[in-house]
DNA sequence: CCGGGAAGTTTGAACGATCAAATCTTCGGT
DNA sequence: ACCGAAGATTTGATCGTTCAAACTTCCCGG
């Protein structure tokens, strides 16, 4: 073949005009059935495919969503973003959209990329990750009226239901509450919490889930809780040292829930070294590592997060990005996804037979689940 | 502003024609200096940015590279591809290129996506990962003369230096040889190998590195080596069981090198349970998990792999993708990257003080290195 | 002072699609 | 049968850029 076929080639073959071919593709409803079939078979015979750039130029839409790939995959939890990215890509495929990546060294650089990608009409919208208090990126996007959705609540000064700030997030509070209640159901009372220093919205929210579960089951006071909680920066070695200290000072501790799998992994290592190989530990994120080492965890349901992202961007079934600030109908401006417990060996008191198979190869959190 | 400025707006402001503005942007050399400066300041004043879709339509280039995001991030080693993707995105930025993602359920589906993305002029080239023996994707791309580079040698029937099959890979053989020699240098002799079943090009290549190191240091025969090697499918639990067996039958084993971090992690768990907390173990991939738990490993230098990918696609400094089968000049059609040892606690006999800091927060393999 | 060629710049067309408006068909109601 | 409106299809213009060729300007040697 000399050249790729165009709408004109298809039109000629089907004995209709350009525009009719275009209509068959974009608004099949307004074309008479006979014509439509004729055009469709011409398309099939010629193997015609619309030229994406030409369409984008004319429609002024790129059907592309920009995502920044963070500079450093942050330790073992970094895989959360990677899995989210994967789920996003699948959703994008289903909606006729594409995901374009870019990198940036810091937030200002990221904003410069926003400008460049917007002005070049490269992307219709952005998806943000790793949001923080009063994130300047969100401010910029809202001010410029650029469509976007943040993965992670925009904790900060603006109200969470601000219609200009769309977000999707995982209900970490519910997740930790579920994990804690699971342990309570297995008969534990003195359940500790290992989290990050106060001040990160995400971390504070997760801790609150543990606190609520403890308070509602045992009426624990703030003092009780403070004695059972430890805070440390993210990382396996830091968690390990923190728990080594904790188990020395609190030898009545029966179990532990953690704000992340990294922390939980460090904690697991510490309790095993301390001669308590079956001390129950719960992580958060359900990373591949948790799966590999048999760590119970809380799965973020990233597929649901991704489909929520697209619902906010494009409406329930829309094929194009909605203008900034105008989600379809009365849709709420956010999605809060309830995560799912994944119970593995690490949260059982008794040793688990080594037969294996229960934790190998599986990827979906189906081993044993408990919702809400 | 009502509308984004176009070349015409810039041209009017600078008192020149469209095409001159275009020339300033694309071939500054042919424009007289005075004119160029005038146009450049008009561009700056108006904040003009070329419209990417219009340019792509006219030039018939998308300046975009397609990458398939694998359906399942394969366990803890999945992060290798994620980090490669990140390195690719950075390189792309530097070359004025973009990375577009797509997903596919299998190889045939992936090929259908190739067709769609090519015919829609969405991408100029593809980057393949996870290649296997006689990979049908490579055959299709070569037959269709679509530019591409594979990360991973196209092990199989075609010769490795086939000019139609460009590839970049990490020299796994050198990596395992380095790891083995490092252990030999520390005085070990009976060094075992834990790898995958024979038949995967990558696995066989890595094993060969261990064999060569052993043979050249101790003159080990094939029989000696067979007794020291174990094979199992990828995965932490499988590795753990395999090593539990191995240490029972070979109580003279002194150290272990593995084909992946997953295997190494399982091995570490097994030897620790067996009461040998300081048994030296080496992994491969330098995943975040290895870093987190202090596992010595072999780093793939993914930044070098990514820049090699772009050198093959676009030439040393080119700004556009080269046609299929015609790399610039006499460049070899491939890049074989030598990996780098990252030595951590897991390969030391003596316990390491718990002070930490040596393995926390770092990301680059700088803790202690040894090249070739 | 003119011819010729290189260097610099402009003009018209094209890339492949969709939008907006014009034209042609179909069909029901009187 | 005829009219009008709704339905279906076609035509002309346009999105913003670069290509190819035409045109201008400039410089130099004869």
Mean pLDDT, chain A, integer: 87
User: What values do phi and psi take at B201, rounded to 5?
Assistant: -50, -45
Q: Domain holding A135: CATH number?
A: 3.40.50.2300
Q: Are residues B203 and B296 in the same domain?
A: yes
In degrees and rounded to multiples of 5, residue B80 shows phi and psi of: -60, -45
* Backbone angle region of B55, left / alpha / beta, with phi > 0 → left and psi within -120 to 50 → alpha: alpha
Closest-CA distance of chain A to residue B77, Å: 9
Q: Which residue would you say has higher pLDDT here, A351 or A95? A: A95
- A57 inside 8 A of chain B by CB: yes
Residue B143 contacts strand C, CB under 7 A: no
* pLDDT, tens only, A263-312: 999 999 899 888 888 899 999 999 888 888 889 999 999 999 999 999 99
Pick the closest to residue A25 from A36, A14, A38 (CA basis).
A36
Tell whether A354 is covered by a domain: no
Please judge whether B72 and A363 are an interchain contact, meaning their C-beta atoms are less than 8 angstroms apart. yes
Q: Are residues B280 and B309 in the same domain?
A: no
**Res A362: pLDDT:** 37
The answer on A286 and A306 residing in a single domain is no
Q: Is the CB of A58 under 7 A from strand D?
A: yes
Whole-angstrom Cα distance, residue A150 to residue A157? 16
Structural domain includes residue B195: yes
**Do A288 and A255 have their domain in common?**
yes
- Which residues from the 307-326 window of protein chain B have CB within 7 angstroms of nucleic acid chain D? none
Decide the pairing of beta strands A334-337 and A167-170: parallel
List beta partners, residue B254.
none
Q: A69 CB near a chain B CB, below 8 Å?
A: yes
Q: Are residues A183 and A277 in the same domain?
A: yes
The answer for A 253-282 residues in CB contact with B (under 8 A) is 262, 265-266, 269
Strand C contact with B19 (CB < 7 A): yes
Tell me, yes or no, whether B364 lies in a domain.
no
Does the beta-carbon distance from B76 to A265 stay under 8 Å? Answer: no
Q: Which of B67, B69, B232, B237 to mutate to test the interface with A (most CBs of A within 10 A)?
A: B237
A328 touches strand C (CB under 7 A): no
Contact status of B5 with chain A (Cβ, < 8 Å): no
pLDDT in tens, B326-335: 765 567 789 9
Residue with more model confidence, B354 or A170 = A170
Rounded mean pLDDT of B165-170?
Answer: 94
Contacts of B361 in chain A (CB under 8 A): 235
Do A211 and A100 lie in a common domain?
no
Q: Would B156 be classed as within a structural domain?
A: yes
Say whether both A306 and A291 belong to one domain. Answer: no
Q: CB distance A51–B57 less than 8 Å?
A: yes
Distance from chain centroid for Cα B336? 11
Q: Is the pLDDT at B111 greater than 90, yes or no? A: yes
| B372 found inside a domain | no
Structure tokens at B240: 């753990």
Tell me, yes or no, whether B33 and B130 share the same domain: no
pLDDT of residue A325: 75
Backbone φ, ψ for residue B258 (5° rounding): -125, 160
CA angle B340, B343, B348 (to 5 degrees): 150
Domain of B100 in residue numbering reads as: 64-165+302-336
Give a yes or no: residue B144 inside a domain: yes
**Is some CB atom of chain B closer than 8 A to the CB atom of A293?**
yes
Report the pLDDT value the prediction gives residue B44, as an integer from 0 to 100.
96
The total of structural domains in chain B comes to 3
How close B323 gets to chain A, by Cα (Å)?
16
In this predicted structure, the answer to whether residue B357 has a pLDDT above a threshold of 50 is: no
Asked whether the beta carbons of residue B292 and residue A47 sit closer than 8 angstroms, the reply is no
Q: Does B85 touch chain A (CB under 8 A)?
A: yes
- The string of pLDDT tens digits covering residues B296-328 is 999 999 999 999 999 999 988 888 898 887 765
My answer on whether A205 and A111 are in the same domain is no
B149 and B68, same structural domain?
yes
Mutate to test the interface with B, among A275, A289, A306 (most CBs of B within 10 A): A289
Mean predicted confidence (pLDDT) in B142-150: 94
Q: Are residues A292 and A176 part of one domain?
A: yes
Q: Are residues B113 and B89 in the same domain?
A: yes
Task: Report the DSSP beta bridge partners of residue B195.
Answer: B231
B324: DSSP letter: T
Is the model's pLDDT at B246 over the cut of 80? yes
Residue B153 lies in a domain: yes
pLDDT > 90 fraction of chain A, expressed in percent and rounded: 65
Q: Report how far residue A132's alpha carbon sits from residue A200's, in angstroms, rounded to the nearest whole number.
A: 8
Which nucleotide is at minimal CA–C1' distance from A30? Answer: D8
Domain membership of residue B198 (yes or no) is yes
Residue A279, by phi and psi: left (phi above 0), alpha (psi -120 to 50) or beta?
beta
Mapped onto helix, strand or coil, the DSSP state of residue B275 is coil
What CATH number is attached to the domain comprising B40?
A: 1.10.260.40
């Amino acid at each position: 073949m000399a050249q790729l076929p165009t709408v004109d080639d298809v039109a000629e073959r089907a004995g209709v005009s350009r525009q009719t071919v275009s209509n068959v593709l974009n608004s099949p409803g307004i074309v008479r059935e006979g014509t439509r079939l004729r055009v469709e078979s011409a398309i099939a015979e010629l193997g015609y495919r619309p030229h994406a750039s030409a369409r984008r130029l004319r429609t002024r839409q790129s059907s592309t969503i920009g995502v920044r790939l963070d500079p450093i995959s942050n330790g073992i939890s970094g895989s959360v973003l990677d899995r989210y990215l994967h789920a996003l890509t699948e959703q994008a495929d289903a909606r006729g959209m594409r995901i374009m990546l870019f990198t940036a060294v810091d937030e200002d650089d990221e904003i410069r990329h926003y400008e460049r990608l917007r002005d070049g009409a490269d992307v219709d919208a952005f998806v943000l990750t790793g949001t923080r208090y009063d994130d300047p990126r969100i401010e910029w996007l809202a001010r410029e009226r650029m469509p976007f959705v943040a993965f992670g609540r925009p904790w900060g000064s603006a109200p969470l239901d601000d219609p200009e700030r769309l977000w999707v997030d995982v209900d970490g509070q519910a997740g930790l509450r579920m994990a804690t209640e699971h342990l309570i159901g297995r008969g534990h009372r003195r359940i500790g919490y290992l989290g990050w220093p106060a001040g990160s919205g995400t971390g504070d929210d997760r801790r609150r889930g543990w606190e609520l579960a403890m308070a509602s089951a045992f009426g624990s006071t703030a003092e009780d809780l403070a004695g059972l909680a430890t805070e440390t920066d993210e990382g396996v070695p830091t968690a390990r040292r923190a728990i080594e200290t904790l188990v020395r000072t609190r030898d009545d501790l029966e179990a532990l829930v953690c704000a992340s799998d990294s922390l939980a992994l460090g904690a697991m290592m510490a309790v095993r070294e301390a001669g308590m190989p079956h001390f129950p530990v719960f992580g958060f994120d359900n990373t591949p590592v948790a799966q590999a080492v048999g760590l119970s965890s809380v799965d973020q349901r990233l597929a649901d997060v991704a489909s929520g992202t697209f619902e906010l961007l494009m409406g329930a079934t829309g094929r194009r990005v909605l203008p900034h600030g105008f989600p379809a109908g009365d849709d709420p401006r956010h999605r809060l996804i309830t995560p799912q417990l994944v119970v593995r060996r690490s949260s059982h008191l008794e040793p688990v037979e080594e037969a294996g198979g229960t934790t190998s190869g599986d990827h979906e959190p189906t081993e044993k689940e408990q919702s809400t």
